[in-house]
Structure 1
Amino acid sequence: MEEQQQTVCPWCHTEIVWDEELGPERHCPHCGNELSGYRTLQLGLDAELEDEVDDLEEEDEDPDWEDNESFKKQRDAALGDLSELRQYSRERLALDETMERILDDQLEAPECPSCREYMLEVGSSHVTGESFTSRTPAAMTIPLLPTPFDVVMYVCPSCFHTENRLSAQDQERFVRSLAKAAEEGQ
């Protein structure tokens, strides 16, 4: 009788029996995942921090290490203060919740060109003829964007990139003026 080799799928933990003549299976017949391509993901501390923690553990020969204050200080310095991590996590969750509520109220939510986060509307500016000189191209008889108009300002909450856009009413007015110039040019 031929000897059969057995493999356990790392994904679904099913035992796979294969024949030596046919060779090993490349994919699990039960879950369809690769058997030879099982990949691992390591989460945790950076390599340097892990080395520091390992060094601290090796140096500590005191059986009452919990009572050793110098060990606690060195360990906390290597690992960082975990209370800051919890506090940041709570603050980050509150920040994300607030940002979601703000974004729900916005008419537009442009994507930041730098980091791809949604930008928050922070206000608008009313531009008048005193602070803006409108350009009239040679192909048109009227200015591209006559004053007054409103500009809405957005700020990215992640990288603080700012962006300005015409208000919705002035966008419509801009498109109408371009359409009017196209009709006059024909």
Structure 2
Amino acid sequence: MSTNEEVVCPWCQTEIVWDPEIGPEDECPHCFNELNDYRSIKLTVKQTGQPLRFQENEQTEPDEDLSLAWDDSDEPLDSYGEAIQRISDEQEEAPECSGCHEFLLLAGKEVISQGSFTPHIPKTLGNAFLTAPVTLHVYVCPSCFKVEKVLSDTDRLLMVERIKDK
């Protein structure tokens, strides 16, 4: 990277200024997004008065494997990425990771039993709005491997009903 090249984080849109002695940053110091080619695009801005230059399309080699899956950027997906895409397509619900905003994969269910869950009783309600057993959907991020848990549909409805009835 040259010293006159500007780097802008694609997630938080913050300009990254780095020390020439240390070198370029590997991740954004503001949101900790990776700044290498993964999840990043590079744009060349045409200055006013400059003619547009187009790159010639490269011819594909006849021995290339044309059965590879392709994403929207015309780059072949690796086998991990292909499998993640297939798993995600099977899911009814795919929430976003709160850390890196990738779609989460449903890893399974966790049931919290009576002995391991102590409900909080708000003074406003007089009763607990969530009681054991509780079923949680466990999601894992395929990029940053963060684990997130969400109440099952049945427990969501029960919680809403318990809060509405008071």
TM-score under structure 1 length normalisation: 0.49
Kindly state the Cα deviation for residue 134 of structure 1 after the two structures are TM-superposed. 0.6
Report the CA distance between 1:111 and its aligned residue: 0.5
Q: 1:135 to 1:37 in 2, by over 3 A?
A: farther
Gaps of 5+ in 2: 1-45, 54-74
Letter in 2 for 1:160: F
- Aligned-pair CA distance for 1:36: 2.0
1:146 partner SS: coil
Give the AA of the match of 1:105. Answer: E
Greater RCO (Cα-Cα under 8 Å, separation 6 or more)? 2
Q: Secondary structure at the match of 1:124?
A: strand
Inter-CA distance 38–117: structure 2 relative to 1 (3 Å threshold): farther
Aligned Cα root-mean-square deviation (Å) = 2.8
The CA distance in 1 between the partners of 2:86 and 2:157, in whole Å, is 27
Is 1:162–2:147 an aligned residue pair?
A: yes
CA distances 1:139-159 after superposition (whole Å, capped 9, x unpaired) = 012202011110111110100
- The residue that corresponds to 1:125 in the other structure is 110
Report the equivalent of 2:156.
171
Q: Which amino acid aligns with 2:130?
A: L
Larger radius of gyration between Structure 1 and Structure 2:
1
Moved over 3 A (4+): 37-40
Percent identity over the alignment is 32
2:49 to 36, 61, 71: 36
Compared CA separation, residues 34 and 148, structure 1 to 2 (3 A): same
> Structure 2: how far apart are the matches of 1:99 and 1:180?
41
The amino acid of 1:162's aligned partner reads V
Match of 1:142 in 2: 127
State the Cα deviation string for residues 79-109 of structure 1 (Å, max 9, x = none): xxxxxxxxxx97x522222112211222211
Aligned to 2:136: 151
The residue type paired with residue 109 of structure 1 is A
Gaps of 5+ in 1: 1-32, 41-88, 182-186
| Mapped partners of 2:160, 2:50: distance in 1 | 55
SS state at 1:177 partner: helix
Among 107, 110, 114, the alignment partner of 2:92 is 107
More helix per residue: 1 or 2?
1
2:5 is matched with none
Quote the Cα distance in structure 2 between the aligned partners of 1:170 and 1:144. Answer: 10
The alignment's TM-score, normalised by the length of structure 2, stands at 0.54
Structure 2 vs 1, CA of residues 38 and 156 (structure 1 numbering), >3 Å: closer, same or farther?
farther
For 2:125 and 2:165, locate their aligned partners in 1 and report how far apart those are by CA, in whole Å.
Answer: 9
Which of 67, 79, 83 lines up with 1:98 in the alignment?
83
Q: Number of residue pairs matched?
A: 102
Aligned to 1:82: none
